[in-house]
A and B are shown apart, each in its own frame.
Chain A
Amino acid sequence: MTGIWSLPLLSLRCIHVWQRNLLVWRKLALASMVGNLADPMLYMLGFGYGLGRMMPDAFGGTGYIAFLAAGTVCSSTMMSASFEAMYSGFSRMHVQKTWEAIMNAPLDLDDVVAGEMLWAASKSLLSGCAVLLVAAALGLCASSLSMWVIPVILITGLAFGGLGLIMTALSPSYDFFVYYFTLVITPMMLMSGVFFPIDQLPAGLQAVTGLLPLSHAVALVRPLMSGHLPAQAWLHLCVLALYAIIGFYCALALTRRRLLK
């Protein structure tokens, strides 16, 4: 514990934190599922079929709905991980002092932050997979390659869980998260190829998309769902993994500064 930037001490103890959150979630599962899923589904189906009908030839065989389904898998993964890491994480850290109670037991803050990040990723795995399942039921998954979307969802969830926990560590109150959604999440969604191809963006913006984790998730998920192997798959996976690792490290350091002073 010398300095906030000392390397994380990872252990399986973080599972206890994950289990605690799972137990709470199980109590509220139904309401939480409906709330998490209704929104992305409605947008996907509404815009997918509605807009899709207006541009029958722009998106090839399965049309705009298939294009949007792949984007929605990624964006709802991002949303779910971010919400969990920020709003729910902040409740547990700051409002309910759950983390404080856990740290009075033989767990370290490192275990707590790791457990929270795994939990945020787990919840986003559920959201992402639910969208994937609906897409499959609508015949929008071209082949069994779509199964590989599941690990991509997980690593995307870890990346956004880490970023969300950074915001939580910095946040004075819930209101703070609105900035992150308005200034980071929403622009990222518009620039990452969720709703329309990246090549429709102005050239200047296209250069930036390579930095956005969501664009790498989309670059993996869309080909997998339409039955192709993604180009440069390792590059995209590495970017997502880097976001997850660096995000975790920064979140831990900032939370240490906040709670262990």
Chain B
Amino acid sequence: MTHLQVRALRKSYGANTVVDGIDLDLAPGECFGLLGPNGAGKTTTLRLCLGLTAPDSGDINVLGMRLPAEARRARARIGVVPQMDNLDPDFTVRENLQVYGRYFDLSAQEVAARIPALLEFAGLANRGDDNIRALSGGMKRRLTLARALINDPDLIFLDEPTTGLDPQARHLIWQRLRQLLAQGKTIFLTTHFMDEAERLCGRLAVMDHGRMIASGSPRELVDRHIEPQVVEVFGDSAENWARDHGAQLAERCESAGETVFCYVHDATHLIDDLAARPELRYVHRPANLEDVFLRLTGRDLRD
């Protein structure tokens, strides 16, 4: 039994292939993260999984229902947190939940019974009668998350849930998402924050140019795709140093601006060399998901 199964999914707009033959499986209760630079096809994948756009080919099965044919029935058991807040600005916090509950054919009593717990969950227990315009960005995001839970969904889609939030607000969202996982909800999130993916997701896939280019647990991705140690070297002469010395001491060196990233299994010799050069500053750290991401998708800017 899977909560989401996607096979050979394709979608193109004109000559532009946005989703190019992807497969996905989400087990009940897992948190799956879809990573990728802007324009990789993440949001289109989400829209396909919600039945909001029809694929050119491939199969989508959500909670046992085939999409897009049974999309409405599937969405009755799904919660969605969109990339941009689309709360109703003319309504209060409570009215936003009430009206959204009606879209799921829930009775006014049912919705009223669910609202206190949802407001509590969103940390908005005392703000029920506030206008949306009076809420901070973090509060709006939490309300959007609470709104996505009004139908007590089995599967929750979140499209870049913490983009634009300050660290405090992000941590609070993460805490809430972990709470939902503890309740047994299945979560599918897209993000380009590696720390978010690393903290929340049991399993990740990296998407680029419409294709899945890697997948696995955060640890597996790091182990499989990159050397375990990274030494970042800064300074005006960093690039010259990398060419003359770094390249021999590290397995791989990449330079970006005034920083050189050296990837190694054993950093001892590298550190010894750098210690004798006071004009260069360096940081030695274990490799992380961001290194994998940049390795797989390149350092070029995506707009």
> Chain A interface (Cβ within 8 Å of chain B)?
1-2, 13, 16, 19-20, 23-24, 27-28, 96-98, 100-108, 260-261
Contacts and interface: CB of A to CB of B under 8 A. Distances in A.
28 contacts: A2-B54, A19-B102, A20-B88, A20-B99, A23-B91, A23-B99, A24-B90, A28-B90, A96-B86, A96-B89, A97-B82, A97-B84, A97-B86, A100-B86, A101-B100, A102-B103, A104-B52, A104-B75, A104-B82, A105-B103, A105-B104, A106-B72, A106-B73, A106-B76, A106-B103, A106-B104, A106-B105, A107-B72
A104 B50 contact: yes
A20 to B, nearest CB: 5
A1 B54 contact: yes
A105 B105 CA distance: 10
B36 interface: no
Given A1-B68, A16-B102, A23-B91, A103 B86 contact: no
Contacts of A13: 105
B53 interface: yes
B95 interface: yes
Interface in B20-79: 50-54, 68, 71-73, 75-76, 78
A23 B95 contact: yes
A96 B72 CA distance: 22
Nearest to B148: A104
A209 to B, nearest CB: 39
Contacts, number: 65
Looking at chain B's contact residues, the main secondary structure is loop
Contacts of B53: 260-261
A30 to B, nearest CB: 15
Select the residue from A24, A101, A108 with max chain B CB neighbours within 10 A.
Answer: A101
Interface in B80-98: 80, 82, 84, 86-91, 95
A238 B243 CA distance: 81
A102 B99 CA distance: 10
A126 B20 CA distance: 51
A105 B150 CA distance: 10
A101 B86 contact: yes
B89 A108 contact: no
Nearest to A17: B103
Given A97-B86, A100-B86, A105 B91 contact: no
Contacts of A108: 71-72
A109 to B, nearest CB: 9
Nearest to B74: A106
B83 to A, nearest CB: 10
A27 B91 CA distance: 9
Given A101-B86, A106-B72, A261-B13, A24 B91 contact: yes
